[in-house]
């Protein structure tokens, strides 16, 4: 792969989706059902109660629906396209990542960028529809919208490295499909994908503050709905950036260690 054309790696997984219309149809149907069910669930939970955990009904519904839409940013079917790190490790094709002119870390980053841009198109379309339908409420001000966008970008940066760490574990565990599912579930749970962290017990929230997961999604969505006031946005953004830097250094170290475990036999 010529380096000037390395950007084409970003098209790998999205093209797999675009050339498989049934998968796109299934994704649209699943996303629609998820939004409808999640909105109905939270409206039902708030039918006979006021504010809970600092969130009113509209805030909770907005948070939950945005969490569903945000999940589309990195929810492409890599497994169906045989493009997951776990599969490459299983079939031994991971060696080709180290035989190309393009370094594995750069290829992985470009591929993830393509996935996020493709997923962002889905998320933005869903946001426009739900906003027009009154399912989610708009941000309180232009400043709040700007802070949310910045926090969401930082959150996606952190999420990229979190998912990279999970994938890099395959170099040491090799066959870890069940462990990968558990790790992804834990990441979603502590990121606030399934429910805002404000609803969890105090000890759980305290534990989450020492982990990077809530910086991926919980912080941006809490800023959007106003659960975290704009006056507290500065420290939260700084913490997200700090997690991004720390994870970037850690994954860079893991890439170097992983290269020592890859062996190419034959010509």
Measured in whole angstroms, the distance separating CA 146 from the mean position of its chain's CA atoms is: 20
CA distances from 37 to 28, 44, 56, 67, 154 (A): 14, 10, 18, 13, 28
Contact 222, 193 (CB under 8 A): no
Q: Report pLDDT for 236.
A: 95
Q: Is residue 267 part of a domain?
A: no
Walk along the chain (267 residues) and give the pLDDT tens digit of each residue.
444 566 777 887 778 778 878 878 888 898 899 999 999 999 988 887 777 777 888 899 999 999 999 887 766 555 555 667 777 777 777 888 888 788 888 888 888 888 888 889 899 999 999 999 999 999 988 999 999 999 999 999 999 999 899 888 888 876 666 777 787 888 888 888 888 888 888 899 888 888 999 999 999 999 999 999 999 999 999 999 999 999 999 999 999 888 877 765 544
Task: Specify the number of domains making up the chain.
Answer: 1
**42 in a structural domain:** yes
DSSP code, position 263: -
Is there a domain that residue 193 lies in? Answer: yes
Q: Are 243 and 158 in contact (CB under 8 A)?
A: yes
Is 36 a domain residue? yes
C-beta separation of 161 from 248 below 8 A: yes
Does residue 90 belong to any structural domain of this protein?
Answer: yes
Give strand pairing partners of 55: 52
Is 265 part of any domain? Answer: no
Q: Is residue 64 part of a domain?
A: yes
Domain that holds residue 178: 3-259
Confidence at residue 172, expressed as pLDDT on a 0 to 100 scale: 82
Which of these, 180, 209, 185, lies nearest to 197 by C-alpha position?
209
Predicted model pTM: 0.87
Torsion, Cα 9 215 245 97, to 10 degrees, reads -30
Q: Are 175 and 182 in contact (CB under 8 A)?
A: no
């Amino acid at each position: 792969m010529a380096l000037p054309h390395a950007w084409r790696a970003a098209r790998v997984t999205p093209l797999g989706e675009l050339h498989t219309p049934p998968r796109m149809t299934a994704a649209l149907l699943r996303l629609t059902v998820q939004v409808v069910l999640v909105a109905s669930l939270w409206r039902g939970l708030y039918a006979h109660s006021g504010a809970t955990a600092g969130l009113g009904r509209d805030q909770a519904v907005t948070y939950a629906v945005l969490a569903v839409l945000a999940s589309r940013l990195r929810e492409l079917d890599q497994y169906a396209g045989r493009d997951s790190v776990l599969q490459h490790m299983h079939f031994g094709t991971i060696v080709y990542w180290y035989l190309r002119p393009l370094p594995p870390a750069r290829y992985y980053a470009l591929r993830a960028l393509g996935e996020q841009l493709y997923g962002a198109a889905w998320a933005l379309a869903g946001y426009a529809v739900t906003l027009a339908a009154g399912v989610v409420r708009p941000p309180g001000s232009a400043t709040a919208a700007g802070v949310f966008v910045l926090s969401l970008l930082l959150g996606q940066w952190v999420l990229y490295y979190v998912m990279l760490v999970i994938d890099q574990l395959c170099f040491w565990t090799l066959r870890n499909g069940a462990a990968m599912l558990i790790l992804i579930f834990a990441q979603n749970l502590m990121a606030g994908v399934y429910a805002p962290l404000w609803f969890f017990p105090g000890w759980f929230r305290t534990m989450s503050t020492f982990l990077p997961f809530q910086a991926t999604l919980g912080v941006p969505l809490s800023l959007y709905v106003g659960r975290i006031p704009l006056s507290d946005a500065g420290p939260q953004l700084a913490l997200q950036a700090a997690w991004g830097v720390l994870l970037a250094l850690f994954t860079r170290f893991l890439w170097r260690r992983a290269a020592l475990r890859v062996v190419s036999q034959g010509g």
